[in-house]
Amino acid sequence: MKLFQKKKTLFEAKGDKYYYFINNLIMGILAVIVIYPLYFIVIASVSNPDAVMNGEVLLYPIKFSLEGYQRLLGESQIWIGYRNTILYTTIGTALNIFVTIPAGWALSRKNLAHRKFIMWFFIVTMFFGGGLIPFYLLISSLDWIDSPLALIIPGAVSVWNVFMTKAFYESNIPEELLEAAKIDGANEYRTFLSIILPISKPIIAVMVLFYAVGHWNSYFNALIFIHSENLYPLQLVLRDILIIAEGVTGTGDPQTILEQQRIANMIKYSSIIVSSLPIIILYPFIQRFFEKGFLIGSFK
């Protein structure tokens, strides 16, 4: 009997080895598929554009060059775009957090008056919208055309993020903590500000990342509502630079066209890095808050 059990254990251990090998192999292939395009953009942005156009850049930079970054960052408009995008992202994200966190907390409370109706009111907005033309007419009637308000106020809250916040509170805030606060004489506002907010650091960090990425990459609303170049966010500035760089590639003699295409390729890869780098830098500081059950503050 012991021998049979031992053989079974050895068989299972052998099966586990095959399983882990195949699992790691598949995950490795998927990781390469996901990571390599990003890696290629990085090495292409610091390689000689002729080598990139000839397909020589595959695993490492060829003839290291920062010419693309020099041309891109030499444009004065790009710094205006950075300034505007940082401003829109900071103010917009602060407004998002100011609305989302209290809304998620309120919806997580079972004693909220008309809770089901309010929930359905939120849910309906996830599936039905007024459409682009009514949205434009609304912004126009508010006199927000060519105003930063058109990029900040309409996106003040994401219903999906409110529900994520609600789920966080429902799964992480024990009723005993709230009862203890009531016994100590804390009202709803005091409880939220002194107890709930310190515990909310993980979900606040996650929401900051989600909202900040959305604001940073915002493009369509700015394209429709912003007309003044001094109010352009970074994405529109990069778009104009790329259009100008690529729009002239069909003019001139073959040698001139080739040089123009060379410059356009340099700017294309460099612009991707320039627009993505701030968010990439931000993510490692927030990553730890994604870990489930990370609670600090009032439980200590």
Name the residue with tokens 């369509």: 220
Which helix (H) or strand (E) segment holds residue 91: the answer is helix 76-108
pLDDT in tens, 4-61: 444 445 445 666 777 888 888 999 999 989 888 888 888 888 887 777 777 777 888 8
Q: What is the pLDDT of residue 256?
A: 65
Rounded to whole angstroms, how far apart are CA atoms 110 and 93?
A: 28
**Distance between CA 176 and CA 181 in Å, rounded?**
9
How far is C-alpha 188 from the chain's CA centre? 32
**Domains located in the chain, CATH noted:** 9-67 (no CATH), 76-290 (1.10.3720.10)
- What pLDDT, in 10s, does the model give residues 77-90? 888 888 999 999 99
The DSSP annotation for 194-230 comes to IIIHHHTHHHHHHHHHHHHHHHHT--HHHHHH---GG
pLDDT, residue 95, reads: 94
Plot region of 115 (φ>0 → left; ψ -120 to 50 → alpha; else → beta)? alpha
Q: What is the pTM of this model?
A: 0.77
- For residue 1, name the pLDDT band (cuts at 50, 70, 90): very low
Q: Give the model confidence (pLDDT) of 165-206 as tens digits.
A: 998 888 877 777 777 878 777 787 888 888 888 888 888 888
In this prediction, residue 91 carries a pLDDT of: 94
Which of 71-80, 137-146, 151-160, 250-259 bottoms out in mean pLDDT, i.e. has the lowest?
250-259
Average pLDDT over residues 104-131: 84
